[in-house]
Amino acid sequence: MALTRKQWIVIGCIATFVVVGVIVGVTVGVVVGRRKSDSVTVEQRVNDILAQNPLIDGHNDWAWVIRKYFRNNITGLDLNEMTKYRNITTIHTDITRLRKGQVGGQFWSIYTPCEHQGKDATVSFMEQIDLMNRIIAKEPEAFQLARTAAEVREAFQAKRVASLLGVESGQAIESTFSILRLFYQLGVRYMTLTHNCNTPWADQNRVDRPGSTLPKNDGLTEFGKKIIAEMNRLGMLVDLAHVSKKTMLDVLNVTRSPIIFSHSSAWALCNHSRNVQDDVLRLIKKNRGIVMVAFTPGFITCDSKNLGNISNVAEHINYIRNLAGVDGIGLGGDFDGIDQTPYDLVDVSGYPKLIEYLISQGNWTDEDIIKLAGGNILRVMEENEQIARDLQKTMQPMEDMIPIADLIKNNITSCRYLDMYPNATVA
């Protein structure tokens, strides 16, 4: 039956009301949703991000502080509230502040000074690994040992700080592949090639300082290149913090795996020899490596009278991001390895404030923050793990000995029994 003109008018009116209602409903929903989003503070946004994604710092010297001031005795030590020991020294780390800082993973520095090289370096580094094992065992609800990216995620899901071990200085292995492999078996997942002293196979950063008369290896020696190859085969991250620029370039030329700088900043903003120059930053982007920005005032401001603040640290983060890419940046606070801190980054509780500042700048998405906080270092670990699996299919463990001439040159034969060099003659 054909509709009358009046009926068509009625239908048209009803349709109009329906359409208008839908439009109004959608508009209201969008506005309400937008207001809800706007009502989420930056602090809440950061809290949500870090509750779901681990913040992983590249370098913390808590173990060194415990060795230096407490002789590695932790039985009666309150690891939850170490501010109570401020009459002894300022300590940047404890469980309470790690929780406040929403730290989801930490590379704990396994470190003793250069003076141990050629004497008891391996012994002293083993003592520090034992210390971290005892800390983890003492506080199992707070810490969980992690050796892979997957284990980091497991610890984070269990609401424990994923505890990774990083040997700070190649002196620890006393120039032998055997000790390098044993450290890997003990859970060490990165090795800084030098500290502020050369190893017999790699140069440290201070050789680059103006007027330096320190002896040089001219970067990475041939034996040093074999060390890198073995680290790649094992899946141990190569850490270039502390090394000379020539060593950086040599490593980037031979490594098959992404490298890290566990605690360094941008040389263009502070021309300290511990920082990373622009051409190296561009190479890191090609290598798919990562620079974990240090909070060390001397690396941030280059001004002994200005300790710097969050904005100065953020400037280094943004600068490195612009050259190495958002996939090439991370955080490496160096807490408890530094005597002074930026004014508003005084301990491990301060990470959320730094991230809040970055977000407030308007050019960091949630995805970017996730990468900075821990996503990038997890990706670097996973790539090293996969490359190691591939290399182990065709590559045998290294068995070479470092040339004795390299040991003699560096004057570290006096405390070493040279039975592996049967024809050696040492004056």
Q: How far apart are alpha carbons 157 and 151 in whole angstroms?
A: 10
263 is catalytic: yes
| DSSP helix/strand/coil, 106 | strand
Among 174, 208, 239, 334, the active-site one is 334
Q: Pull the structure tokens for residue 106.
A: 């930490």
94 is catalytic: no
Tell me which residue of 131, 20, 32 sits closest to 72, measured CA to CA.
131
Measured over all CA atoms, what is the biggest interatomic distance in the chain, rounded to whole angstroms?
118
Element (H, E) at 165: strand 161-168
Among 59, 92, 272, 316, the active-site one is 59
Q: 179 and 121 in contact (C-beta within 8 Å)?
A: no
Among 57, 92, 151, 195, the active-site one is 195
Segments in 325-424 forming alpha helices (H): 351-360, 366-370, 376-391, 404-409
Among 242, 316, 327, 347, the active-site one is 242
Q: How far apart are alpha carbons 319 and 266 in whole angstroms?
A: 7
Among 92, 263, 272, 316, the active-site one is 263
Tell me which residue of 169, 161, 91 sits closest to 132, measured CA to CA.
161
Q: Pull the structure tokens for residue 231.
A: 């680290």
Bridge partners of 145? 163
Q: How many CA atoms lie within 13 A of 349 on its CB side?
A: 12
Q: How far apart are alpha carbons 173 and 183 in whole angstroms?
A: 8
Tell me which residue of 145, 129, 125 sits closest to 137, measured CA to CA.
145
Q: How far apart are alpha carbons 365 and 287 in whole angstroms?
A: 24
154 is catalytic: no
334 is catalytic: yes
Among 57, 61, 94, 250, the active-site one is 61
Among 94, 168, 315, 406, the active-site one is 168
What are the phi and psi torsion angles at 315 (to 5°)? Answer: -60, -40
272 is catalytic: no
Q: How far is CA 393 from the centre of its chain?
A: 29
59 is catalytic: yes
DSSP H helix total and E strand total for the chain: 16, 9
Q: 171 and 189 in contact (C-beta within 8 Å)?
A: no
Catalytic residue list:
59, 61, 168, 195, 242, 263, 334
